């Protein structure tokens, strides 16, 4: 074929290309080993010498025509393909997202964390004990031998058969015994133990399962003044600096002397209302100096070491703090109740 013919054919073909595939077919047709332009090129050997230059230039012209067309079209098609792909994969960021359901902490988790944070800031460590306890740890080593009348107030759930000596702990005071026995050097102790306890109780303000936090401090020269200072700080930090704190003599078999701690009513601020039974005060804590018998039973020298202990129901704090009227809702597993605490910022 002559150069002019090839050129004319190429120009026609160029008009008919509609896709990248066709463009590549065209490349084959003109530039493969047997392609029309390749053939023109190889025929240069048959051209007389004096025409070779012009012939070569003309072939080059055709080749350039093709190449230019090829490069522009190729870029065009590739861009179109890319755009198509991009538009197919596009994400519409203006669509509203699916609502992610955020969990919320149970009020008891919140209260427990607040108590722990406070005591850790005062140098205590958190010490946890099991809910299934031996009669010894729950009562005997706390100066409540079998048959002691003070056991009545802490009637609990008992295990049977070979576990007869075991029960569900009725107080976190079991942690006092465990912490003292764990301390092999019989040295100073400063712990808080939050956790579930069990009793045979059930009404609007008592549940068969509730939560206490126990504190125990043992060291040389610990006095009632330390106990008072610590508990006053504790009550004010948790319930507000305006809270007044009052100590009343009381009785616990494992502390001597023992006190009960009252705070000004959260609701009326001390004026008197149905919540505080018009007294202006609400009882929140039991506490006292660790009884020498208790120290001795767990291997401490009571002439060298003194200690104080306290225990309080965290549920009551949660009820007061969050205005929960019935303790049973705390343990009712009703998600609607727990959701009410979503995003409540009290930390
Ligand atoms: N364990 C006591 C109770 O449950 C509270 C208490 C703890 C009292 C520590 C004195 C010292 O009632």
Question: Mean pLDDT throughout 150-160?
Answer: 94
Which of 36, 51, 47 has the alpha carbon at shortest distance from 6?
36
User: Tell me, what's the pLDDT at 347?
Assistant: 46
Q: What is the DSSP string of 139-160?
A: TGGGT--TT-GGGGGG---B--
Atom of ligand 1 nearest to the CA of 310: 9
Atom of ligand 1 nearest to the CA of 173: 1
Residue nearest atom 9 in ligand 1 by C-alpha distance: 310
Is the bond preceding residue 257 a cis peptide, omega within 30 degrees? yes
CA distance 315 to 210: 7
Question: Mean pLDDT throughout 219-243?
Answer: 95
> How confident is the model over 164-195, as pLDDT tens digits?
999 999 999 999 999 999 999 999 999 999 99
Per-residue tokens: 58:
């003309």
How many angstroms is it from 97 CA to the middle of ligand 1? 51
| Ligand 1 neighbours (beta carbon < 6 A) | 171, 173, 214, 252, 255, 286-288, 309-311
Question: Mean pLDDT throughout 256-263?
Answer: 97
Distance of CA 211 to the CA centre of its chain: 21
Question: Mean pLDDT throughout 299-322?
Answer: 94
Select from 173, 211, 284 the residue to mutate for testing ligand 1; criterion: most ligand atoms less than 8 Å from CB.
173
Q: Which residue is associated with the tokens 């003044």?
A: 225
Select from 286, 309, 310 the residue to mutate for testing ligand 1; criterion: most ligand atoms less than 8 Å from CB.
286
CA distance 295 to 291: 7
How many angstroms is it from 180 CA to the middle of ligand 1? 16
| % of the chain with per-residue pLDDT over 70 | 99
Select from 197, 291, 311, 314 the residue to mutate for testing ligand 1; criterion: most ligand atoms less than 8 Å from CB.
311
Residue 220 has a CB neighbour count (10 Å cut-off) of 9
pLDDT band at residue 343 using 50, 70 and 90 as cut-offs: low
> How confident is the model over 49-86, as pLDDT tens digits?
999 999 999 999 999 999 999 999 999 999 999 999 99
* Better-predicted residue by pLDDT, 93 or 191: 191
How many angstroms is it from 134 CA to the middle of ligand 1? 17
How many angstroms is it from 292 CA to the middle of ligand 1? 16
User: Tell me, what's the pLDDT at 310?
Assistant: 98
Residue 2 buriedness (CB in 10 A; 0-12 / 13-18 / 19+): exposed
Which residues are CB-neighbours of 260 under 8 A, at least 6 positions away? 247, 248, 249, 250, 283, 285, 286, 287
215, pLDDT greater than 80: yes
């Amino acid at each position: 074929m002559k150069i002019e013919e090839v050129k004319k054919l190429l120009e026609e073909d160029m008009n008919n290309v509609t896709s990248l595939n066709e463009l590549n077919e065209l490349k084959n047709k003109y530039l493969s080993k047997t392609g029309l332009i390749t053939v023109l090129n190889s025929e240069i050997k048959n051209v007389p010498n004096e025409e070779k230059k012009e012939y070569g230039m003309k072939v080059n012209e055709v080749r350039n025509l093709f190449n230019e067309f090829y490069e522009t079209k190729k870029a065009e098609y590739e861009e179109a393909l890319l755009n198509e792909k991009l538009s197919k994969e596009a994400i519409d960021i203006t669509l509203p997202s699916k609502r992610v359901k955020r969990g919320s902490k149970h009020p008891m988790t919140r209260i427990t964390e607040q108590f722990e944070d406070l005591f850790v800031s005062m140098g205590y460590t958190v010490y946890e004990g099991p809910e299934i306890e031996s009669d010894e740890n729950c009562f005997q080593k706390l100066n409540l031998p079998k048959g002691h009348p003070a056991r009545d107030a802490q009637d609990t759930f008992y295990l049977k058969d070979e576990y007869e000596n075991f029960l569900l702990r009725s107080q976190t005071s079991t942690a006092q015994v465990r912490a003292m026995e764990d301390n092999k050097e019989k040295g100073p102790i400063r712990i808080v133990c939050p956790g579930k306890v069990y009793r045979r109780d059930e009404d609007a303000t008592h549940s068969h399962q509730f939560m206490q936090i126990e504190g125990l401090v043992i060291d040389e020269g610990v006095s009632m003044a330390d106990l008072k200072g610590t508990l006053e700080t504790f009550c004010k930090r948790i319930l507000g600096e305006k809270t007044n704190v009052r100590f009343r003599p009381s009785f616990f078999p494992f502390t001597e002397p023992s006190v009960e701690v009252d705070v000004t009513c959260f609701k009326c601020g001390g004026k008197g209302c149905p919540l505080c039974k018009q007294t202006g005060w609400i009882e929140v804590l039991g506490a006292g100096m660790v009884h020498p018998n208790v120290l001795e039973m767990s291997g401490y020298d009571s002439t060298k070491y003194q200690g104080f202990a306290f225990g309080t129901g965290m549920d009551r704090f949660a009820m007061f703090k969050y205005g929960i009227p019935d303790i049973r809702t705390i343990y009712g597993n009703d998600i609607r109740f727990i959701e009410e605490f979503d995003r409540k910022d009290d930390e």
